[in-house]
Structure 1
Amino acid sequence: MRIEYLKYLLDVAEHQSIAKAARINFISSQGMSRVIHELEKEFGHTLVERYPNKLKLTETCKQLLPCIENIQREYGKLSEAITSIDLQNETQQTFSLRLLSQRIATIGILPQSLFFPSGDKKVKIFYREMNNDTIFSTIIENAKRREPDDIPEIGLVTFYDPKNSPLVAGAAERAIQYVPYLKTYDLAIVSSQSKLAHKKELTKKDMLQYPLISSNSQLYNAICQRFGENAVSIATGSIDFRMALVEQDEGLSFIPAILLLSPFMSFHNIAAIPFEDTYSVECGFIGTSEALSSEPFRQFVRTLNEYYEPHLDSDLFTLYETCEILGNSAVRADS
């Protein structure tokens, strides 16, 4: 269970509206409905009774709300404690940058062990892995109380359609900027023992021979748009579980092509194959204008550029030109 799902349920209960709860959390109404449905499956109880022009909380939901509210309060205390510890460590160890990153972005986008020179010392980047929603909400909340001399905080996020993302629009309303960094595309992954493993490109017919396995967020929506609303057999937030199912030849899933540059792929008995009518995946950074223009972040991105430039001919990705942030030019991705 994702902890923010409990917050979403509390918002639905408070406003007695899925649409309003969706708006204040910068997700679609369909996404909010899916969250409630996933909670109902996990709890084994109906939480919301839906009517044409209204909804009603079930008695079970009403009984659970005090417990959920308590979990949210305690989680808030935990987040504050972690932030306090992080700031202490940053002071003691001279962390130059706090980076909040998606799991898939951490695996696929970031080189291993990023360290930067600072005088005669090496400066460590502090990582925390989160999903897109939590990264945005954390950046927004922390920006309200950060002091000018605090360590810059940046989020690394991925999108299938950033132009239409309510997260990006909602962040902009709160003076949080989104800056695209690179564009890649998805590949299909199958077991190396699969009958499809030898193919150079998969057709839709090839892929639908297998159960499709996705994450339970943006990838789910992208797959449904390509293969049909009921195409996904298993949706899970765990990439490790997805990879395990694929290795056992129990289904077919998807990864960004840029992961082929990562050692992650060498640990799994899978084949990554292009498929017809694929879709792009965009990775970028979010933060305040101060954080995005800070020297630690500029140094961080220059190091990323140094890592990616030797691979520009691989056709796995293109870099966006973000000169005002990076301090140097890059190859611009097609819009």
Structure 2
Amino acid sequence: MPQRKRRRKSLNTSSKWQSAVPSPSVYHGELLPSCAGPKFHPFRTSNPEIQFQTLLNEPNLSDTGGQGYVFKALVDSEPFAIKLFKFFDIEEEKARFADSQKAKMTDEELEGNTDPFFAECRAYGRIEEFYENCQGKKNPGLIAAPCYGYLYISEEQEMDLGRQFGILDWNRLDTHANTRIRALVKQFIPDEPINRKVKSVKRMLSDLKTLHRIGVYPRDTFARNYRGGLMVDFGIALTEPSCVLRVLPEWMREPEKYKDLGAFDDMIRELGIKTAVRAARPENPQIHTRGDYVRGELREEFVELDRSGKNAKPALV
């Protein structure tokens, strides 16, 4: 796809990085995941030279840490951020669903929708579809941090990570004994505080609503998942068509899709940004704040608030 420079200034005070959507290329390799819905392409080279420089996330302190490790690295001498994913345990994931829900999904669907690596592939596949549909129209600017494709980490590179960073936990099961670690190559954006200007907050909200409009629901809207005002993590995102949303009861489906709106408002308040910009619509009190709809395990309890936003009651799936 053609390069698209961001039509706005960086939402951070730093302008050291340049934002651009990946250029068109002939990709050699499988589009992932194999289940129905959007898919994502391999990185431009299948076995690039990678020099891991800095571990960017704290694995034990964040949701992303449970999914894998994020590094600043040189890939064929160019700086990128690389997210390396732990292996996915489908049996553990299936335990989150009631038997009646599991009966409505194949294992391939469930893995293709909820494995964090595949969840990000689906989200970025849909985002690329969005950019392609915008060709010849008004430039929409970036709506998320650019991702340039997936690749596999070699056994030698995995051993180097263990020696250099002490990383040995990949959640590798017997079924993964001969499987290489999967990774996504993204634009490296410095970790700086979110720009507190109202214009910047409005643009972030506009991006989030655009993601919703094209059927991508990040469900992890926290300051730690933004760089330069752009969402960088889609590891628990649901992207239409979603088997997870399909099996949820109707009364639960919409709040689950749009809980990001309340979370966005919470994030702005927690950052102490003084603005009247709000994501959640007052007429929908169930998603007014993140606390309005707290999801536990899918098989266990959801919390529902009444219209006052004060009285909670458990709602079983």
Q: Mark yes or no: TM-score above 0.5.
A: no
- Structure ranking higher in strand proportion: 1
TM-score by length of 2: 0.28
- Structure ranking higher in helix proportion: 1
Larger radius of gyration, structure 1 or 2? 1
